[in-house]
Structure 1
Amino acid sequence: MDRPPSSLLSIASIVVSMTAVAIGNGMMLAYVPFVLTRLGAPAWVPGAAVTAIAFGGLVGCVIAGPLIRRVGHARAFSCSMALVILSALLVSLGVHPILWIIARGLYGIAANTNFIITQSWLNHASENHWRGKAMALFYMAYVIGLGAGAWLFGRIPAEGNLAPIITVFFTAVAILPIGLTRLPTPPAPAKVSVDIPMVWRNSPVALMGVLASGGLSMVVQGFTPIYAANAVSQQDVAALMFVMQFGLLFIQYPMGAFSDRIDRRVVLIATCLLVVAAGMAALTVSFANLVLLMLVFALFAGAVETVYSIANAHANDRTDPADFVPLASTMLIAWSASATVVPMLVTVLTPFFGQRTFIYAAMAVALLYAGFVLYRLRKRSEEVSESREGFEWKTAQIPNAGALCESEAKPE
């Protein structure tokens, strides 16, 4: 059945909802590690809270599809929002490290479920000629929301439970636009189809790039506030997290546009070297020069996010459109697995090597991936003329989950 004509304005309810969610999430991403670090929780606890988010995201990848098939997109969205609220309420009960780790795991489940629901809905609601703009608007609004949440954290007292209460407020607000939307509900989603051999055959560089970006993103975004909380004030931590969210605006788009003109693998190597350079600068610049350090970490975060977006574009370049659904499914699972394992290793190693362990880990992952890409470049000379999809503005904080819920009903 033909859908009625739609426009960019028609998806406003989804974008507004996820922006409200992002404000609360941005606040908690700064609040939880800051409080755990400042109140002297065991050294492994803040890192475990970061790992719990990623592990919860992996669980969300598994349960989201069956949940949406059972109750539909709108009700599933409300359920995931309920998990975000429960997570914040657990945090509001006081500083109980194990309880907070469980709470961050619940948030991780909800976060990936939210992304799967909203990206599927956006894909269904948008038309081909403006789908790219819709996705770019969605990603940008979410990142701005994360930055706004971090900025807001710097304006409230860290003592007490005001931060989780504000998170509950914004999450409750996020339910309203989806509850009142007139957008048609997408059809029942397809089963999640994971096909690692297919993705490896099509592009080993892309698969390894998504694995690298999962670890890089969670390590840099998750451990930076832990690192900063030991050295600067709450307001400075909030400002650092705020600036980091905008690093990808100034790094990702130029590098992505460049990758549309030359071999994306060359740009991936250059991006990895940029990650290493930013890591070395982060080790060199002290918190006494906070403004410069903020710029360094903005560069660090922007380069990390760029690895994901270019690897994703490279995968789509080399995959038949008929395989886009298993491609997205496999890459999301790979991203989530890496985002769990790498922070876990950093958490284990931090007591032995200090708070800068996450910087060394990010540099090591970037160097290993750059070496792999260089090896592939030398090993296999690929065709000069190839079909290439345009670069899309993406963030590794919002893995491409939309295809997990593509419709089973295909036009005959």
Structure 2
Amino acid sequence: MSRSPSALLSIASIVTSMTAVAIGNGMMLAYVPFVLTRSMAPEWVPGAAVTAIAFGGLVGCVLAGPLIRRVGHARAFSCSMALVILAAVLISLGINPALWILARGLYGAAANTNFIIAQSWLNHASDNRWRGKAMALFYMAYVIGLGTGAWLFGQVPLEGNFAPIATIFFTAIAILPIGLTRLPTPPAPTRVRIDIAMAWHSSPVAFIGVLASGGLSMLVQGFTPIYAAANAMSQRDVATLMFVMQFGLLLIQYPMGALSDRVDRRIVLIATSALITGAGLAALVVSFDRLWLLMLVFAIFAGAVETIYSIANAHANDRTDPDDFVPLASTLLVAWSTAATLVPMLVTALTPVFGARVFIHATMAVALLYAAFVLLRLRSRARVPPQLREAFELKSAQVPNVAQLSEAEPRPE
């Protein structure tokens, strides 16, 4: 397959579309928990809104494949964008805890559907020789979009409904590049099985790691703005904090991932769990008066959490037959979404009793339990030689590798 201008333009359209979605998402990730925490809503409501995103994502994992098979990628993309817009409309109506929790659930379902469609389209449109670069561009653009959206949150009026209307604006823009693309849509996906037994047999360390990362990611990304708002941090400071955290995903993942290509990935997972614990301890003691130090700590916190996800995925692929990559990816995504729902649900229930910082303690507890599990497994299974490993790729639980859920045929050579 040649790298034709039309193919590159179509890929740029997909990346541009998802970047516009990310800007709106970045705004809502900061806006919803901040406003709910500052409102008269019960203390459990902001956490419930975080949990709803993960639960919606789990529903999206189940429903996206049948939807794409029924109407195709382009129409399914329009439907998922419509859900994002509908969710923002519900939020724009004013503070209503029930409506806002429902809205975040709708967004979660739409988000996973968006990723399934976008990554599947990129996989099928890209040549093998530059597919990795295309996916890296997609990942980087989305993370930059998230950070930009978080920064924009600090620039808009908190009163009124400007933020959700801005989200509607960026989502509407996102529909245009996909609607105008001339790239043929990928073939309809086949049904992909969820095989927990296979995933566990391939690598218990990877399977439990993805479960752990689901809870870790939603705790750090979802509860940090709640914690900041509860400590009277200003809107602009919260926006800057969320902006810096997104780039922590890149700065921590790459060196740890590169290290995992040279030494046993399980050792790097233990080291990363220790880094999460250390960052959590620092987050508990650093003063909100030392804003830039606080931001550095939370950037490390967020980056280390996402590193668990990416290295666990690489470790799973190291130990799995290539014929099982598709069901493995599907199973790990569902496992991640399940843990991302249950762990924040538990923390939401504990927050009114122990306060807003309980999510930090919960994050450290999950990291320590996972490190202990990996230590036990380190004695019971051999190390995979470097020459037999999959190359490490930057990945994020916020940008899940969900394209495999919609693969129908071998990708083009």
- TM over 0.5: same fold? yes
CA distance in structure 2 between the partners assigned to 1:234 and 1:317 by the alignment: 44
Partner Cα separation in structure 1 for residue 384 and residue 364 of structure 2: 31
Provide the rounded CA distance (Å) in 2 between the counterparts of 1:24 and 1:178. 17
Matches for 1:134-149 after TM superposition, within 5 Å: 134-149=134-149
Q: Tell me whether 1:396 sits opposite 2:397 in the alignment.
A: yes
Residue type of the partner of 1:287? F
| Letter paired with 1:198 | M
Shift of 1:226: 0.4
Matching of residue 206 in structure 1 with residue 202 in structure 2: no
* 1:157-190 Cα deviation digits (max 9, x unpaired): 1110000000000000000000011111000112
* Correspondence for 1:99: 99
- Structure 1, residues 326-366: CA drift from partner, whole Å, max 9, x if none? 01100000000000000001000111111101101110111
Tell me by how many angstroms 1:386 deviates: 5.6
- Partner residue of 1:48? 48
Match of 1:345 in 2: 346
In structure 2, the residue matched to 1:306 is: 307
Aligned residue for 2:370? 369
The amino acid of 1:60's aligned partner reads G
Structure 1 range deviating more: 379-388 or 53-62: 379-388
Residue 66 (structure 1) aligns with: 66
Provide the alpha-carbon RMSD of the alignment. Answer: 1.3
The SS at the match of 1:393 is coil
Distance 1:365 1:151 in 2: 30
**Correspondence for 1:162:** 162
* Alignment partners' CA distance in 2, 1:8 and 1:136: 14
* Residue correspondence of structure 1 range 6-405 to structure 2 within 5 A: 6=4, 8-230=8-230, 231-382=232-383, 384=385, 387-405=388-406
2:347 and 2:24 map into 1 onto residues whose CA distance is 26
8 Å CA contact retained: 2:53, 2:107: yes
Partner deviation per Cα, 1:73-123 (whole Å, 9 max, x = no partner): 011000000000000000000101111000100001101111111111111
For the 8 Å contact 1:255–1:306, the answer to whether it is kept is yes
- 1:287 is paired with a residue whose SS is coil
CA distance in 1, matches of 2:46, 2:385: 47
User: Which shifted more, 267-276 or 123-132?
Assistant: 123-132
Distance in 2 (CA, whole Å) between partners of 1:410 and 1:182 is 19
Letter in 1 for 2:261: D
Q: Distance in 2 between matches of 1:381 and 1:11?
A: 41
Match of 1:367, SS state, is helix
Distance (whole Å) between structure 2 residues aligned to residue 8 and residue 183 of structure 1: 10
Query: CA offsets, 1:119-164, max 9 Å, x none?
Result: 1111111111111111111111101100000000000111100000
Percent identity between the aligned chains? 78
Asked if 2 retains the 8 angstrom alpha-carbon contact of 1:187 and 1:409, the reply is no
The answer as to whether partners of 1:72 and 1:185 remain within 8 angstroms in 2 is yes
TM (normalized to structure 1)? 0.97
Over residues 277-306 of structure 1, what are the superposed CA-to-partner deviations in whole Å (9 max), with x where a residue is unaligned? Answer: 000000010111111000000000000011
8 Å contact kept, 1:8–1:134: no
Letter in 2 for 1:254: P
Contact 2:153 2:163 in 1 (8 A): yes
Distance (whole Å) between structure 1 residues aligned to residue 138 and residue 218 of structure 2 = 20
Structure 1 Cα separation of the partners of residues 271 and 254 of structure 2 = 14
Contact 2:264 2:383 in 1 (8 A): no
Task: Label 1:171 to 1:384 Cα distance change in 2 as closer, same or farther (>3 A).
Answer: closer
Q: Deviations over 1:9-46 (max 9, x none)?
A: 54101100000000000001100011111112100000
Q: Is contact 2:48-2:101 (8 Å) kept?
A: yes
Count of residue correspondences: 409
Partners of 1:133 and 1:190 in 2: how far apart? 26
Letter of the structure 2 residue corresponding to residue 25 of structure 1: N
User: Which structure 1 residue ranges, 5 or more long, are not aligned?
Assistant: none
Deviation at 1:385, TM superposition (A): 6.3
| Cα drift, residue 193 of structure 1 | 1.2
**Distance in 2 (alpha carbons) for counterparts of 1:17 and 1:380:** 43
CA contact (8 A) 1:8 1:130 kept: no
SS at match of 2:130: helix
SS at match of 1:332: helix
Q: CA deviation at 1:381?
A: 2.9
SS of the residue 2:279 aligns to: helix
Cα deviation, residue 384, structure 1: 4.3
**CA distance 1:409–1:253, change in 2 (3 Å):** closer
Query: CA contact under 8 A between 1:207 and 1:331: conserved in structure 2?
Result: yes
Aligned CA distance change for structure 1 residues 236 and 383 (closer, same or farther; 3 Å)? closer
Q: Structure 2 length as normaliser, TM-score?
A: 0.97
What SS class does the counterpart of residue 261 from structure 1 fall into? coil
Q: For 2:72, give the aligned amino acid.
A: G
Contact 1:335 1:399 in 2 (8 A): no
